[in-house]
Amino acid sequence: MNGDTRGAALGGGEIAGVPTRFDFRAELPALDAWQRIHLLNVAGAGVSRIARLLAARGVAVSGSDPADLPVMASLREAGIDAQVGWDAERVADVDAVVVSSATKEDVPELRAARERGLPVLHQAQALALATQGRRRIVVAGANGKTSTSAMVAWALRAAGRDCGYAIGAELVGRGRNAEVGTAPEFVIEGDESDGSFVTYRPEVAVLTNVRPDHLDLYGSFETVQRAYDEFLATIPRGGVLIACSDDPGARAAADRQRDRLRVITYGFGVEGQATPDLHLGTPDHRGMVWESVLQDNISGRTLNLRVKVPGAHNLLNAAAAHAVVVHASATGAHGAGGDAAGADATVVEGPVDPALEAASLAGLADFAGASRRFQVRGEAGGVVVVDDYAHNGDKVAAVVRTGAALARETGHRVVVAFQPHLFSRTRDFAAEFAAGLDAADEVLLLPVFGAREEPLPGVSSQLIADRLTTSHRAVGSLEELPDAVVESARPGDLVLLVGAGNVTTAGQAVLDALRAAS
């Protein structure tokens, strides 16, 4: 193995001038240059899916994790040597090591890999390796990435394209967050939070929105915007960008790429702005089913777009997915490194295949959702409990608006149990969280889930409480939440458990408490 290959992913890099732990722009070798790859924290959802994808490509895959979770047994059943605990000797005979952003530098196996001069890859780089030679479709944006990625994969499969996918949640009905697939297309949920989305070099990209998120890394919204510009710059000239023109950030980013990319826009339309290529009409809903007229200004067709995952934002996500299936195609040779710079990506103009169009719409109407995206956990005592991963202001507002529309349709209330995620995010966006939560009839505020962060002086859920105008009260711990829900909820109400932390683990306890009290 030559020195360039061994050092392919060593050292840090930068995005938008911000230092990153990994050089996500590094050229990766052909996958067959590495016969044995070892993955750290292999029980994690993101790393475990990459282990399976690499194994499916014929790589001898091994992995370690300190936790003996059920996924370890399933990895072993898939032929992956998954071991519990750390042992530096496990990297003695491997060609490369894969880590996640959460892997600490003091992990013995990582230290040993560094000492041996082995290539150390971030999981996104490993995913790029595993998808070499595939037609990558990457979904990026502050909000809606997971749902849109899931819809793209679902609709492509409904249209007869057995695409691969790797997304941040399981597809309801398939129970998986990744599949290899046999078609050229591979759908990836990009991650802007650590800058890793620049590693994929997609032929087709979807941009849902550009918002001031992850300021703990980027520092300012202007830097966030530059990071998205750098991601879009990795799409080869002539590639396809599908962007939500309702969002000012996505619209501006798309406009900056029009001289080199084929841009398709979608949205409900904004006064004073150009009509979107895929133009949604006023949404209507009956219970969980939402629909809208979709005027396809590329094909000249007027369609009916229907989804059974609630919310106007999901109609936007579905319009983006439909654009991928019906209007974005790519042909051409792929380089060994997965760089599609030689490909000829095209937009399908004019009449489209009616069967393809119908299959896409039918697939989207059948889409059952992604885990923790307005996922109904159950009903007890006449109260429906829904779990959602929303963790920034826009996502929280969309989820609460959707819940309020559903509850009030039947004359009932929506009660939101909200667990803020990250101290820095709570500090920076307390007003936005409060504005989104104010659409609820009552808010139960849990303590901040710090995740990777240490507490910050003066930062707590009280910052949000101070800005709320709707009825609200503090809940001291997750263990107290079931009783708090029983006190607040009435038969017919909708209870939303919202946040990216461990609030999701309270779902069954809340249902049990409601059942016991009824």
Q: How high is the mean pLDDT of the chain?
A: 91
Cα 120 from Cα 6, distance rounded (Å): 9
Q: What is the pLDDT of residue 341?
A: 40
User: 7 is written with which tokens?
Assistant: 């050092």
**Model pLDDT, residue 2:** 37
Is 143 annotated as contributing to ligand binding? yes
pTM of the model: 0.86
Q: Which amino acid is at 487?
A: E
pLDDT digits (tens, 9 = 90+) for 179-193: 999 999 999 999 998
Residues 177, 45: contact at Cβ < 8 Å? yes
Residue 4 has pLDDT above 50, yes or no: no
Query: Cβ(509)–Cβ(427) under 8 Å?
Result: no
pLDDT tens digits, residue range 420-432?
999 999 999 999 9
pLDDT on residue 10: 47
Residue 465 has pLDDT above 50, yes or no: yes
- Per-residue pLDDT of 294-329, as tens digits, reads 999 999 999 999 999 999 999 999 999 999 999 995
pLDDT tens digits for 329-363? 543 223 333 444 434 445 556 678 899 999 999 99
Task: Tell me the helix, strand and coil percentages in the chain, rounded to 5.
Answer: 35, 25, 40
pLDDT at 210: 97
Q: Cα 421 to the chain's mean position, in Å?
A: 16
- The answer on whether 426 is annotated among ligand-binding residues is no
Is 144 annotated to bind ligand? Answer: yes
pLDDT value at residue 177:
86
Q: Which CATH class is domain 375-517?
A: alpha beta
Which two tokens mark 514?
């409601």
DSSP character string of 417-462? EE--B-HHHHHHHHHHHHHHHTTSSEEEEPPPB-TTPPP-TT-STH
Strands 96-99 and 36-40: parallel
Give me the pLDDT at residue 68, please.
87
Structural contact between residues 445 and 464, judged by C-beta atoms closer than 8 angstroms:
yes
234 assigned to a ligand binding site: no
Residue with tokens 């319009």: 319
Summarised one tens digit per residue, pLDDT across range 140-156 is 999 999 999 999 999 99
Residue 269: phi and psi, rounded to 5, are: 100, 140
CATH 3.30.160.100 fits 3-127, yes or no: no
Residue 202, SS3 per DSSP: coil
**Is 355 one of the annotated binding-site residues?**
no
Which pLDDT value is given to residue 213? 87
Q: pLDDT by residue (tens digit) across 100-135?
A: 888 889 999 999 999 999 999 999 999 999 999 999
Instruction: Provide DSSP, 292-345.
Output: EEEEETTTTEEEEEEESS-SHHHHHHHHHHHHHHHHEEEES---TTS--TT-EE
Whole-number percent of the chain with pLDDT over 70: 94
Q: Please report, as a single letter, which amino acid is at residue 347.
A: V
CA torsion angle 485 488 493 494 (round to 10): -40
Cα distance between residue 266 and residue 243, in whole Å = 6
DSSP-derived secondary structure for 361-398: HHHHHH---BTTSSEEEEEETTEEEEEE---SHHHHHH
131-366 fold:
UDP-N-acetylmuramoyl-L-alanine:D-glutamate ligase (3.40.1190)
- pLDDT at position 518, please? 86
Q: Where are the domains of the chain?
A: 3-127, 131-366, 375-517
Give the span between the Cα atoms of 49 and 280, in whole angstroms. 35
CB-based burial of residue 513 (10 Å sphere; 0-12 exposed, 13-18 middle, 19+ buried)?
buried
pLDDT band of residue 170 (cuts 50, 70, 90) is confident
